[in-house]
Amino acid sequence: MHIIAHRGASGEFPENTLLAIEQALLQGADAIEIDVYAVDDELIVIHDPKLERTTNGSGTIYQHTLSYLMQLDAGQGQRIPTLWQVLQLVHGRCWLNIELKGKNTVEPLLALLTRAQSELGFELSELLVSSFNHHLLLKLKNAVPELRLGALTASLQLNYADYARQLGMYSVHCEINFMDQELVERAHALGLCVYVYTVDQPDEIEEMLQLGVDGIFTNYPARSRMWLHDKLKKPV
């Protein structure tokens, strides 16, 4: 079961910053999850379209120029990173889950991936792109059929694994409250991976382990890794 650092090691460091990502890597995360919006054709890493919760800015990201956004404090002196900076940091160290938020992300992402492949030697197998917006995922699928894609859902949906399989997804990304054995078994029978968010407690980790999910998004990669290690030592 993979430990996926949710917005980096966001329980301890400012979420979606290079610091939180570097710390997650040092804590041995198997993967990093980040949230991405497009502003002026640049992909930036932030969870909310509104700036107040995670930065010293105000208003929405779309009201401002990229240069304004880039000089904001995102916590502990960190800046809002660009996706390019994250690709440079993570490349060759673990796999990356980019969650697409907002609008107009597909074209800039395709351009950035082409650049990352040629300039960094970045491989598509290092990447899993997810979104609640499944139309965007279909556009990506059409453009780059080999790209791994994950369909996010925050609710209970009947036959979700079958639906995701029909869309050509690699994985389903589900909220923990809607997880059950039937979904995991059906997804696996269809060849889909199952990733669950957000899993921060020891009893939740044990439950996900018993369900046999492929990975958990956690805000605390170090302690989740420790708890997982302990659970694996004991017979369940």
Contact residues for Ca ion, defined by CB under 5 A: 35, 99
**Does residue 15 belong to the site contacting ligand G3P (CB under 6 A)?**
no
In the shown chain, the binding pattern of residues 73 to 102 toward ligand G3P, with x for contact by CB under 6 A and - for none, equals --------------------------x---
CA distances from 135 to 44, 106, 138, 142 (A): 20, 10, 5, 11
Q: Which residues contact 37 (CB under 8 A, 6 or more apart)?
A: 43, 44, 46, 49, 61, 101, 102, 105
Q: Given candidates 134, 148, 165, 173, which one binds ligand G3P under the rule CB under 6 A? A: 173
Q: Given candidates 11, 13, 31, 35, which one binds ligand G3P under the rule CB under 6 A? A: 35
Residues forming a β-bridge with 150: 130, 171
Alpha-carbon distance of 130 to 99, in angstroms, equals 5
Write down the least CB distance from residue 3 to Ca ion, Å. Answer: 16
| 173 in catalytic set | no
Alpha-carbon distance of 174 to 150, in angstroms, equals 10
| 134 in catalytic set | no
Considering beta carbons, is residue 195 or 227 the nearer one to ligand G3P?
195
Considering beta carbons, is residue 50 or 114 the nearer one to ligand G3P?
50
- The three-class DSSP label of residue 37 is strand
Alpha-carbon distance of 236 to 231, in angstroms, equals 8
- The three-class DSSP label of residue 139 is helix
214 binds, among Ca ion, ligand G3P, none (CB under 5 to 8 A by kind): none
Biggest alpha carbon distance in the chain? Answer: 55
217 binds, among ligand G3P, Ca ion, none (CB under 5 to 8 A by kind): ligand G3P
Write down the least CB distance from residue 154 to ligand G3P, Å. Answer: 7
Q: Given candidates 37, 160, 170, 217, which one binds ligand G3P under the rule CB under 6 A? A: 217
Q: Which residues bind ligand G3P (CB under 6 A)?
A: 6, 33, 35, 47, 99, 130, 152, 173, 197, 217
Residue numbers annotated as active site:
6, 47
